[in-house]
Structure 1
């Protein structure tokens, strides 16, 4: 099973360049980054995990800029978002950003999508909260039209349409891998089966019960049973937990790193590297030779 990582990179944490080099040197499979454009300080929406909203939410780096830096200093490290708040983007501009990043990185990008949780943040982007799921599906369809091999139009239902257009570069394979994040449920599983390549369950709890439900919905949508990808996301690892994911057919798991400075992040990376089944280069939070 591939072991990737995610982190809230901010103006106060380890840099994207330093982290990407250290991940590749240690043999981690990938780096996924979340996004929040801003966090309104007057907010009625509760933090989903409970308690006060952590400081890093209002300080996140733009994931596409940070991943471009990571791509430039690595050769094998997979790059992804976890998650892109598609409802908050102009889909024509975002399609270009994604295609460019995927092209320049040699096809290493995964688009992790989500609907978001912060109503006030979404409202500042003009998002009708009740319609956000349909909005995301519509904007994803528009982006796929721009990634199509030939000029393809899309008549959007939410104010964004595109004429048949020349739009290059194209992502490798015609589109990046697309995963949908969120809690298990009929609406989410229907969207996974109809629009994406798989599911990113946050935290990875309860997969033994929810995966059969998702697989049934996937097959009823006419999808290849072997093509479904399930990637447990933002996981705090234990050997037993990772072994269980592997038993369930998960080929990748994304481990949560702390939103911290270089020394702490590298210490945690060294502890996580024990799950890779290979020695830690340099050890003790030091770079491998030549990294």
Structure 2
């Protein structure tokens, strides 16, 4: 531990996220190290492909980092992580639900949650890359509504009894037998995205909470989300806010805990084993 730093001594769960690729530490090696060291979870992002001819700007500015076009499939990688751990929570940060067949995705989610003993969290997002979405046949203007309907279909397949679902965007499934079921009926679902009335309304409609990238501006945003949540008739104590891809320091983590956050997800570099384990050594001060 760096003696010049003040350790964070809070109670939040400390999870991690990383762009795992064909050039980084492996899912098995990372998952084992995270569990051995006492980290709470591992979340993985998703991009199926990055079209070379792209007009969508990288949200963080500048050139798109190399790892975006090399990401491992998160469900395959998390399946490996589940097989070599017993306690480590597993999640996506995020799954681009609009880019998936929802019947297939419901089966993937249910299988991973079942085989891991209920350790899976489904992070849901709407994406930023228009060209990637277009190759999946997604109409950009209605991707949020399509995501909500596909979530509705998946929840129908996860229901205890055969349940039909029909939406307005051609999203439908007849009442079906669909096993295994996720532990607890459905996995924890967190919505990613920038703060705003539209996102907050969708969180209140079909999610368990919010996954804000970087965690900036939460002092203003979290009270607004809580207001929307309660107006929708949701249990005030049930809302979860999980700051994601955070570069930590003790003051920042203490602030999140004061806001009621019970988990934070720290960003790991998309590096080889030695680099990633070195950062885990540093992050160990927050456990």
2:131 aligned partner: 120
Taking structure 1 as the reference length, the TM-score comes to 0.94
Which residue number corresponds to residue 4 of structure 2?
none
Is residue 2:262 matched to residue 1:274? no
Which one of the candidate residues 12, 24, 32 is aligned to 1:21? 32
State the 1:158 CA deviation.
Answer: 2.0
Provide the secondary structure at the position in 2 that maps to 1:99.
Answer: helix
1:192 lines up with 2:213 in the alignment: no
TM-score where L is the length of structure 2: 0.96
Aligned residue for 1:12? 23
RMSD of equivalent CA atoms: 0.4
Give yes or no for the alignment of 1:202 onto 2:216: no
Stretches of 4+ moved more than 3 A in 1? none
Counterparts of 1:156 and 1:69 in 2: how far apart (Å)? Answer: 34
Distance 1:136 1:142 in 2: 10
Aligned residue in 2 for 1:284: none
Residue equivalent to 1:281:
none
Q: Can you list the C-alpha shifts for 1:117-144, whole angstroms capped at 9, x where unaligned?
A: 0000000000000000100000000000
Structure 2, gaps ≥5 residues long: 1-11
Structure 2 residue aligned with 1:230: 241
Report what 2:7 is aligned to. none
1:1-43 CA deviation, whole Å, 9 max, x = no partner? Answer: 1000000000000000000000000000000000000000100
| Count of residue pairs brought into register by the alignment | 276
How many angstroms apart in 1 are the aligned matches of 2:150 and 2:57? Answer: 27
Matches within 5 A, 1:115-264: 115-264=126-275
What is the aligned partner in structure 2 of residue 94 from structure 1? 105
Residue number in structure 2 paired with 1:62: 73
Alpha-carbon separation, structure 2, partners of 1:19 and 1:6: 11
Q: Does 1:84 align with 2:120?
A: no
Deviation at 1:159, TM superposition (A): 2.3
